Structures are given as structure tokens and as C-alpha cells.
Structure 1
Amino acid sequence: MIQDSVKIHDNFSLEVKSIYENISEKKKTKYNTLTYLFIPNGLNINNQTYSKSKFYNDVKVYIRYNASEYTLDEILNLKTGPLHQLIKIVKKISGKKVSKKNKLEFESRVKMLGVILNNTLKIAIPSLKDFGKSNVAISIDYFTKLKNFLSFYRGLVGIIEHLKIEEELKKTIKYGDEYMSNSINYYLIVLLDYYKIINVEKEILKIIISFLKEEQAYRKIQNYDLTSEEDYFDETLLHKRSQLKKYVEGVLFLNRDVRKDGAFFEQSIFAIAAGLAMVFSTGIAFYYQQVYGNFTLPFFIALVVGYMFKDRIKASIGLLFVSKANSLFHDFKIKIRDSGTNLIGVVRENFTFVPFNKLGPKVKRHRLKNRFIDADYNFLGEKIIQYKKKIVIYPKKFGEEISDNRLNSMVDITRVNLYRFTTQMDDPKKEYSLLKKGKIINRVGNRIYHINLIQKFYTEKGVEFKRYLVIMNRKGIKRIEPVELDIY
């Protein structure tokens, strides 16, 4: 099963997030995804102006584990849960000399608890929003449990700070404390804003505000939010939080070993081509040597002609391979490994331009839905980028480094920068005139461009489609709208 979303990452980048589940514990899990970008002809994006190297320069891929799902009750009470796993390793490093293995496990447990809590809060927010309208008591109970969790964790922080261990380990658990405080602060503010809009009872607003103030005071005491007066735009604070986020969430990230797909086969073909060309050239040389002898003009001409044909034969076979390679190989083969170098999976990716008539019938129908002009597609004109991914997940080593029995999926985050698409766009504002009550009125409207994105997923449960409309102008992406597709 694939969970997928497309959103704006920054002014010029869209983020495609796909979650691939590791379905079987014994067999490989396979997914194929096809992403089509339909680009207006006027943007001058085609196979002459937009090469593979430019595309891959504009695409940034992150692959990580998807954080396991726990409820707050399970985090607090489950004996095999992340909090109790951290308690166990704290006991280990408290009673004896700390081994390298225990250090690594302690760091991993702190980070895992942080990312799991963050994921727990993210999942709980929609329910808490509803409870704010329907059952305030449940929301209040949730905040009480959240405070209990912080009290429990900060008790472990106190234990670690009094141990005679390396300062690095003491800093690790403090980093976890700061990260979780930031996460709680973020989601509490999201809830507070929402509760104010829907006018919930003042009691719950007071509780959230009090919680936020307590956390702010705590972070100040711990020097977590320490900034100088000169840091007027909070550059240092935001940079520190960004680094902290990368440090803690780095426990989920996987290493990518990127190599050209089919490189060995390609070099073998080139070697065979060179051999065949050499056989041809040498054969001509031997023949004319026997007929005309050495050091004669005809023999010299035969050598030159043989060399010319040798060069062309070698190049022609190479070009033939390159032209057929897209159907045989992908552009890159990416081996996904965890921090322990265990092979988690393999991703193959391929980029190409495709004509509209080469698309599947369902992709065509989905693209032609909701057209502004019911004209022939070729008349409207678009260039189509096809970005193909083939994903294989190996179950044997999946999640072994983290040792979390609920870890069952991998996240592929692909960011596509569309800045090159804007270079040929018109000004974002355009003047036009209209007649109103007998007078000509000049107005200014927004000049926008539509880039359609269609995704086709091959999973073990069948084929799925999704379509999004990316609306942008020269200043960047304005919004992304999902398009509802017909079921055939």
C-alpha cells in the first residue's frame, strides 16, 4: 500500500511524499511509481533545453523509515514501548562501565522516543480538534498525560546528569528534552489557534496557555531558547532548532548509495563494439596487405578507410545501445542501507520525455478531464516529463538497526525544484480592459500557469492514480489543488 501527498515545500519547490509499507516479513515488497509532469509549451521545457542532468540537479530525494505509531497511553504504559526501552538502557549505563554498544543504543533510544512522540502528537491533533468541540474533558485528560510523560522523561534527565559518564551522553538526553519541548510547543499552538476560532470553553484555553507558559519558562531555565539581543530576526534560534531537528530525526534516515544503472553492461557493450570494429579494420588491413603488399599507396588508403569505418562502427553500436537503454535499464540504481550498512531496499529511477500518444488510456483520460478549452490536445500543446521509480524493500534487515517491532514502512520524500520552469514565464501581473456602464476600465489580473501532475502507482493491491494541479507564476508556486478523478 502507498500513502501519497503533494505539497509546497518553498516558493519554487513541490514535495512529493510517498510512504511504502513493508508488507511481508519473508518476501520482497515491490512498488512501481510513474509521475507525469505536463508542462505548457510556452515554458520552453523540452528534451533539447532540459536534459537528464538538469532534471536530476532539480530533484532532491530523502529516504527514511516512517516513525512508528503509538498512542500516548502506549508510550506511557507499554512495557515494550519506546519510553520503557529508554528506561532499560538508562539502567544499563547506570550500573557499569558504558560500552560503545550501550552508548549507541542509548542515543538511538532517545532519538526514537523523540520522533515517536512527535508522530503521536501529529496523529492526535485531528482528534483533539474534534474533542475541543464535543468533549473538552478528553482534551484536558490528554494534556495531563502529556505533562506526566514530560515529568517522567525529565526524571531520567536528572538521573543521567548525576551519573559519572561522558558529557556527550548527558548532552544527548538534553537534546531529546529540547526537541520534545519544541514539538509540544508547536502542536499546542496549532490547537490553541484552532480552539480560538471555534470558540471552545475558556477553561481549556487557560490550560493550554498555562502549559505553553510552563514550557517557555522551562526552556528559559535550561537555556534552550537562549538568544542575543542582536539576533533580531531569530536567526540563531531558528538555525539551532533546525540542527536539533536534523540530529534527532536523523535516526530514521537511511543512506543512499547511488550508481548508474547498467554501467557494467554498458561498458561491456562498448568493449564488444570496439572489438568488432577492430576485427573489421584489421581484416581490411590484412586483405590489402596480401593483395598490394606493404608500403604501397592502395594499402595506405585501405588502412585509412578501415580506420574510418572502425570508428563509425564503434560509435554506431554505442548509439544503438544508448537509444535502447531506456527500455532495458533505469538512469540510476540506489541501494538503501541503514547506519549498520544493512541493505534495506533498492530504488531505480528514470527520467524521459514522452509524447501524449504513448501514454496509457487512463492517464490520457485523467489529463483531459476538466480542460478549460475542449480543443484537440495536440493543439493546446504540452511537453510531458515521465519520472519512473521502481522500489524493492528487503524484509530481512528492515528496521533491524532500530529494533522497533512496529516499524513497518519507508518514506520517500522527493523535492522537485521548478525554478527553471519560470525563466520563460510572463510578468505575474497583466493589464486588461473591460467596458462597464459605458466606460472603459483598466484592471490588473494575475498571470498564472498550470502544471498538471499525474501519479500512477503499481502496488500488490492494484493500480492507483492521483492528479494535482500546480498553479504558479514567475514568482513561484501559488498553490496546489488535488483533482478528483473518475473511477473507471
Structure 2
Amino acid sequence: MIDIQVKLHDKYSVEMKVGYVVDRNRKENEFRMNTWFFVPHSLGISASTYSKDDFYKDVRSNVRLITPIYSLEEIAEGEWTPFVFLEDAFLHLVEERTKEALETYEYQIKMFTSIFKSALRGKVNEAIHHEVERSERELQVEHYVTCVRVIARRYRELKKIINVTGLPKEAANYFSFGDEYLSNLIEFHTFRLLDGLKEFDPKCYKLEKKRLLELIHGEIGYKQKNGYLVAEKDSKDQNRAVIYRRGILKKYAESDLFLKASKKRDGVLVEQIYYSIAAGLSMIFATVIAFSFQKKYGNFTMPLFVALVVSYMLKDRIKELMRFYFAHRLGKNYFDRKIKVSMGDKVVGQIKDGVDFISENKVPEEIISRRARTDLLAADNRNSSERIILYRKWVQLNAEILDEYGQYDIAGINEIIRFDLGSFARKMDEPAYELYVPEGEADHASIKGEKIYYVNFLIQLQHEGNVEYRRFRLMITRDGIREIQKL
């Protein structure tokens, strides 16, 4: 299965979170994702102005394991929870006091906070967006607060286990990092819950605001007591330090989920073989011409001299034409890059990707149909057609290697892909556009409109014979992306 979430990352970037979920009944799992970008002709984006290298400069991706899924209730109250692994790691460190025990201890803290973050996010989204009766939503908020308090208390009580002499200094540091990150998560997601209730269910917000703010104030007080940084309304320097530290803590806590991805060009050997064949064919042509004229006119004659010059000229042209032909044929079967995805010294799988400008007659009819151009745009497209970029991705994962990852069940990997569309905005007109409207019966006035552009992209997802499609439209101005619409 392939799961995909698309959102705006910043005013010029779109983020795709693609989840490749493996089938445990198959050792090797293959996934394909094809994305067609339909770019307005007026933006001046083409193969001559926007090369493959330009595209890959604008694309950034990270690969990480899918976080093991637990609900807040399972973490707080379940019998077989991350707390079991966490407590075992604490006790093992105290008993063994080895480097390996310390590494396991740190790993379990990181995994616990990552799992807790995922559970918090899911619970908050459920409480905000699910259509339920107000009384049920209030119960969800109450349960949220109860579970969060239980989880925070249980984690902090584990400090008693390592509060012994003789442990390395790093043990206390790792616990402190996890504790501070956990507190940051509680504060952030509780504020998110407050904002969501205020927007979508104001009555529930008024009823539950006090309860949620008490939770936030409790965490802020705890952080101040333990020397953790806290945001302050009127202190820019303090808040810069808070943002910086929170970013470092996030990267640290999630580092064990990120996989090593080593990139290199794909199909290099085959490409060189094809190019050698092209050189050989051009040389055969030149040699045949030289031998033929030498046999007919003899050595050191003017016709032979002319034939050698012409054959040399044609040889280079034939070589380049053959290189172009083979490169075109090669592109259909090979990708631009091959990325080996590793977990330690074990290869989990590989990702290949490739990008090309293509003509509309090479786009599947299903995609053109789903593009659904308006009649006016279809008519205009005959004169100034949209530029079409095809971005191909092929993923192969080994389910057996994923099963070897610690005590947790890992469903697959997430690839976070960010597309920077700043290059697309360079040739856009200024967003401010003047319009005129009548003002009463005897006058008129000018008003300001906004010049926008639409970039459509369609995604085809393939796994085990199943094919799904997603369509999105970006509303962009020269000042950035205004909106992303799922169609």
C-alpha cells in the first residue's frame, strides 16, 4: 500500500509525505509513483531553461522508518507498551553499565518520544476534525488530558532507576533530552488542540479551555523548574534560542528513524556500452567509405582525400545521432539516480527516480482525462500548450530486513519529498493587478486584484497491481504559493 499526504511546507515549497507500507507475505515489495506536472507555458519552464540538474536542486527528500503506531490510551494504560521496552533498557543499563547498554537505553528513549509524538498528533487531529457530538468531543479532550498526564508522570518516574552512582554522565543527559522534548510535544499539541477547538467547535473550546490551559501551565512550570528553555512573549533573543533548541531536540529524538540514503547515477555501465556501440558504428561507416574510395581511385588521390574529409564529418554526426537515439531508448528503461537505503550495515531497499519533459501525446489518456482542462484552456492549449514534466519513482523494499529492526513492528518507510517552486515564479508578473468597477451611476473606481497562476499535478500510485490517482492544484503568485487544492 502507498499512502500519500500533500501539504504546503512554506510559501514556495510543497511537501509530500509518501508512506510505502510493505506486504509481510512478500519478501520483496515494489512500488511505483509517477507524477505529471502541468506547467503554464507563460512561466517559461522548458527542457532548455530547466534542466534535470535544476529539477534535482529544487527537490529534497529524506527517508525514514514509519513510526510504530500506538494510541495514547495504549501508551498510558496498555500492558504491552513502549514503557515495557523503556523500563527494561533503564534496568539493563544499571545492571550492565556497558557501552551497548547505554546505546540501547538512548535508542529506547528516542523511540518512545517519537511514538508519543505520533500518538499525540493523531489524538489531536481526531478530537478536532472528527464529526462527533459535543459531549463526545468533551470526553475526548478529557481523555487526552488524562492520558498525557499519566504518560508524562510514568516517564519522569523512571528517573529514579538511573539515579544511582557510577553511571556515565550521558545517561542523565539522554533522559533530560527526552524529558524536555516530551514536554515540548505536550505544550505544542495542546496549543494545537486549543486552536482547533476554537475554530471548529467554539462551544467545546469555552468548556475545555481551562482544563487544557492548566495542562500547558503545568508543563511550562515543570520546564522552568528543571532549567529547560521556555518561550517568553517579549523576548526575541529567548525565543530564538527556544526555536533553535527545539529544532535540535526534534532532530535528535527522531534520528534513529532516519535511514542512510546513498545516491549515485543509474545505468552508467549500460550507458557507456551503448555509447561505445555508437562510436563503433560511426567508425565502421568511415572505414567502409575510406576503403571503397581507396580501392577505386588508389592512394594519394584527390577523390580519396575528399572522401576521407566527408566521411570524417559524417562519422561525428552519425556518432552523435546514435548517442541521442541510445540515450532516448535508455531513458525509457533506466532512471537518473539510484538511492540505496540502509539501516546500519543492512540494505533495506533502493529508490530510483528520473525526470523528463514529455509531449502531451506521450501522456496516458487516463491522466489527460483527469487533468480536466476547461474548454477555454483546452482551446488556448492548442496555441501555447502547457509544459509537462514527468517525475518517475520506483521503490523496492525488503520486508525481512525491516522485521529485524528491534522489538517494534515497522510497517515500512516514509519518504518526505519537498518541491521548491521558486524557479517557477521568476517569470511571473507582479501579483498586484488593477481592475476597474463602476461606482454609482456617475463614477468609477480602481481596485486591486491578484494575478495568479495554476500548476496542476497528478500522481499515479502503483503497488501489487493496485493503481490509485491523486490530483492537486497549486495557486501561485510571484510572492509564493497561495493555496493547495485537492481535486
TM-score calculated relative to the size of structure 2: 0.89
Does the 8 A contact of 1:255 with 1:337 survive in 2?
A: yes
Does the 8 A contact of 2:220 with 2:230 survive in 1?
A: no
SS at match of 2:228: coil
SS at match of 2:204: coil
Task: Tell me how far apart the structure 2 counterparts of residues 393 and 200 of structure 1 sit (CA, whole Å).
Answer: 45
Task: Tell me how far apart the structure 1 counterparts of residues 43 and 171 of structure 2 sit (CA, whole Å).
Answer: 53
C-alpha displacement at 1:200, in angstroms?
2.7
Residues 103 and 311 (structure 1 numbering): CA distance in 2 closer, same or farther, change over 3 Å? Answer: farther
Residue ranges of structure 2 left out of the alignment (5+ in a row): none
Equivalent in the alignment of 1:9:
9
Does the 8 A contact of 2:194 with 2:205 survive in 1?
A: no
**CA offsets, 1:151-195, max 9 Å, x none?**
111122343243422222321221111111111111111122334
Residues 237 and 303 (structure 1 numbering): CA distance in 2 closer, same or farther, change over 3 Å? Answer: same
Does the 8 A contact of 1:19 with 1:412 survive in 2?
A: yes
Q: How does 1:22-421 map to 2 (within 5 A)?
A: 22-100=22-100, 102-129=101-128, 133-135=134-136, 136-197=138-199, 198-200=202-204, 204-225=208-229, 231-232=236-237, 234-277=239-282, 308=313, 310-338=315-343, 340-369=344-373, 375=379, 377-379=381-383, 381-405=385-409, 407-421=410-424
Does the 8 A contact of 1:470 with 1:479 survive in 2?
A: yes
Does the 8 A contact of 2:231 with 2:239 survive in 1?
A: yes
C-alpha displacement at 1:139, in angstroms?
3.0
Task: Tell me how far apart the structure 2 counterparts of residues 374 and 280 of structure 1 sit (CA, whole Å).
Answer: 47
C-alpha displacement at 1:16, in angstroms?
1.5
Does the 8 A contact of 1:132 with 1:139 survive in 2?
A: no
Does the 8 A contact of 1:58 with 1:416 survive in 2?
A: yes
Does the 8 A contact of 1:5 with 1:16 survive in 2?
A: yes
- Which 10-residue stretch deviates more, 310-319 or 359-368? 310-319
Task: Tell me how far apart the structure 2 counterparts of residues 433 and 351 of structure 1 sit (CA, whole Å).
Answer: 43
Residues 199 and 11 (structure 1 numbering): CA distance in 2 closer, same or farther, change over 3 Å? Answer: same
Task: Tell me how far apart the structure 2 counterparts of residues 201 and 427 of structure 1 sit (CA, whole Å).
Answer: 41
Residues 137 and 449 (structure 1 numbering): CA distance in 2 closer, same or farther, change over 3 Å? Answer: closer
Task: Tell me how far apart the structure 2 counterparts of residues 104 and 288 of structure 1 sit (CA, whole Å).
Answer: 77
Q: What is the one-letter code of the residue matched to 2:368?
A: K
Residues 23 and 300 (structure 1 numbering): CA distance in 2 closer, same or farther, change over 3 Å? Answer: same
Residues 161 and 461 (structure 1 numbering): CA distance in 2 closer, same or farther, change over 3 Å? Answer: farther
Residues 87 and 306 (structure 1 numbering): CA distance in 2 closer, same or farther, change over 3 Å? Answer: same
- Which 10-residue stretch deviates more, 151-160 or 84-93? 151-160
- Which 10-residue stretch deviates more, 284-293 or 119-128? 284-293
Residues 306 and 42 (structure 1 numbering): CA distance in 2 closer, same or farther, change over 3 Å? Answer: closer
C-alpha displacement at 1:242, in angstroms?
0.7
Equivalent in the alignment of 1:474:
478
Does the 8 A contact of 1:94 with 1:163 survive in 2?
A: no
Q: What is the one-letter code of the residue matched to 1:440?
A: H
Does the 8 A contact of 1:25 with 1:396 survive in 2?
A: no
- Which 10-residue stretch deviates more, 159-168 or 39-48? 159-168
Residues 276 and 200 (structure 1 numbering): CA distance in 2 closer, same or farther, change over 3 Å? Answer: closer
C-alpha displacement at 1:288, in angstroms?
8.1
SS at match of 2:430: coil
Aligned length: 480
Equivalent in the alignment of 1:486:
none
Does the 8 A contact of 2:198 with 2:205 survive in 1?
A: no
Alpha carbon RMSD of aligned pairs, Å? 2.9
Task: Tell me how far apart the structure 1 counterparts of residues 231 and 483 of structure 2 sit (CA, whole Å).
Answer: 34
C-alpha displacement at 1:196, in angstroms?
4.3
Residues 371 and 215 (structure 1 numbering): CA distance in 2 closer, same or farther, change over 3 Å? Answer: farther
Residues 282 and 96 (structure 1 numbering): CA distance in 2 closer, same or farther, change over 3 Å? Answer: same
Task: Tell me how far apart the structure 1 counterparts of residues 5 and 127 of structure 2 sit (CA, whole Å).
Answer: 23
Does the 8 A contact of 1:67 with 1:252 survive in 2?
A: yes
Residues 203 and 299 (structure 1 numbering): CA distance in 2 closer, same or farther, change over 3 Å? Answer: closer
C-alpha displacement at 1:291, in angstroms?
8.9
Residues 283 and 80 (structure 1 numbering): CA distance in 2 closer, same or farther, change over 3 Å? Answer: farther
Q: How does 1:441-456 map to 2 (within 5 A)?
A: 441-456=445-460
C-alpha displacement at 1:72, in angstroms?
2.2
Does the 8 A contact of 2:356 with 2:390 survive in 1?
A: yes
C-alpha displacement at 1:403, in angstroms?
3.5
C-alpha displacement at 1:307, in angstroms?
5.1
C-alpha displacement at 1:369, in angstroms?
5.0
Residues 47 and 110 (structure 1 numbering): CA distance in 2 closer, same or farther, change over 3 Å? Answer: same
SS at match of 2:401: coil
TM-score calculated relative to the size of structure 1: 0.89
Residues 203 and 40 (structure 1 numbering): CA distance in 2 closer, same or farther, change over 3 Å? Answer: closer
C-alpha displacement at 1:231, in angstroms?
4.4
Q: What is the one-letter code of the residue matched to 1:72?
A: L
**CA offsets, 1:109-150, max 9 Å, x none?**
111101100001111113334679223345324322321211
Residue ranges of structure 1 left out of the alignment (5+ in a row): 484-488
Task: Tell me how far apart the structure 1 counterparts of residues 280 and 360 of structure 2 sit (CA, whole Å).
Answer: 40
Does the 8 A contact of 1:273 with 1:318 survive in 2?
A: yes
Equivalent in the alignment of 1:437:
440
Q: What is the one-letter code of the residue matched to 1:344?
A: V
Residues 370 and 18 (structure 1 numbering): CA distance in 2 closer, same or farther, change over 3 Å? Answer: farther
Residues 127 and 6 (structure 1 numbering): CA distance in 2 closer, same or farther, change over 3 Å? Answer: closer
